[in-house]
Structure 1
Amino acid sequence: MTHRTYGYARVSRKQQNESRQVQNLITHGVDERFIMVDKESGKDLDRPQYELLRNALRNGDILVIPSIDRLGRNYNQIIQEWGYLTKELVIDIQVLDMPLLDTTVNKDLLGSFISDLVLQILSYVAEQERTFIKKRQTEGIALAKQNSKRLGRPKIPQPKNFEEVHITWKNGSISSKHAQELLGLRNL
């Protein structure tokens, strides 16, 4: 049976670019055909490409990830997922930015102990960082509100002919597409 090497990259938002992570995986020998990428938060495992990856992984395969927080942000979730992948699916994991978490080497008891210990520490650090980010974000929002700063997207001024067009549209005299054109909202 042939074993495969898979790669997994993840960014938290659609606007973020995953190319640096993907290139790093390719540089480390992962065939581009076997790299899965999600543009989803790491708050849980409900990510389409990650689910596909989990279903594809077989005993003896290798999963390469750029960093441990690509699996998730929650300490217990990362520990649980690591255990599922390494003990139930019986795959190896290579974490590129943390060579101590490479389960393909040092497969003896001491190597496993060190990997598990480092994993627990890094998972804890990842969760703490997530907590700090949320705290800083909440503090920033509170400060902005205190200083009367408007948050979110800037408001679009209402067109002068809005009421007239709205009434005409509501009466069914024009389509919503035509109403948008009359209001100059088609290209926003």
Structure 2
Amino acid sequence: MQIYGYVRVSTADQNTERQLIKMQALGIAEERIYIDRQSGKDFNRLRYQALRVQLEAGDILYLDSLDRLGRDYDGIIHEWRHITRIIAADIVVLDNEELFDSRKFRTMGDIGKLLEDQLLSTLAYVAEQERKKNRQRQAEGIAAAKGRGVYKGRPKRYNEKHAGINHTIDLFLKRQQNGYTIKKICEITKIGRSSLYRELQEREPIGRR
């Protein structure tokens, strides 16, 4: 059995320290804490997908809160069920551990599955509604800024695609010695080889690696 932690913030410049402190307090090894700096609107995230393929039956995955897993109603339910029922790993949500600890539901058999589904559906719906509200507030803020002539947009270095590629490179360089290849990383993250090679060349010419 292995213990993992998943940490997510919505943008590359947000601070992960609060979540990391919680994971470290649980004694989770640094290499088993997976961090994404991307929106929770879907699950096509570099580190989450890398974590997903590492999980095995009996493992435990810790989240700070349910919305760190994601903010899409259907996606949250699908991922939770896949991890807990297909992979047979467990999920513990730290800010609501009394309710969201799949180990407790597992011991209750079929009635546990029913209760888990009902609770998960309710909170996943709340998480998605909050995401929609945040998106609406952001759009209203941008519109107001444009109206005042002060909106400049997000700097290119912080857009999600660039952040995702950089994290792909970090994962590749860290895991290379354990058999991860560029082909494997591209398969996991769905980031094209050309993008990966271009960024790698900027860090260090591939011919010298």
TM-score range, shorter chain: 0.7 to 0.9
Alpha-carbon offset, residue 95 of structure 1: 0.4
Is the 1:9–1:37 Cα contact (8 Å) retained in structure 2?
A: yes
> Which structure 2 residues correspond to residues 11-160 of structure 1 after superposition, within 5 A?
11-99=9-97, 100-106=99-105, 107-108=107-108, 109-146=110-147, 148-152=148-152
- % identity of equivalent residues: 43
Shift of 1:142: 2.6
**Larger RCO, structure (CA 8 Å, separation 6 or more):** 2
Distance 1:113 1:4, change over 3 A: same
SS at match of 2:103: coil
Distance 1:89 1:70 in 2: 20
1:15 offset after TM fit, Å?
0.6
Aligned residue pairs: how many? 150
Query: What do the CA deviations read for 1:64-118 (whole angstroms, capped 9, x no partner)?
Result: 1111111111101101111111111111110001111101224204443333222
RMSD value, Cα: 1.6
Where is the helix percentage greater, Structure 1 or Structure 2? 2
For residues 140 and 47 of structure 1, the distance between their equivalents in structure 2, rounded to whole angstroms, comes to: 26
For residues 10-35 of structure 1, what are the alpha-carbon distances to aligned partners after superposition, in whole Å with 9 as ceiling and x for unaligned? 11111111121111012133232311
Matched to 2:93, the amino acid is: V
- Given that residues 5 and 62 in structure 1 are in contact (C-alpha distance below 8 angstroms), is that contact kept between their aligned partners in structure 2? yes
Residues 29, 120 of structure 1: CA spacing in aligned structure 2 closer, same or farther, 3 A cutoff? farther
Please name the residue that 1:175 is paired with: none
Gaps of 5+ in 1: 154-188
Report the TM-score, using the length of structure 1 for normalisation.
Answer: 0.74
CA distance in 2, matches of 1:43, 1:145: 25
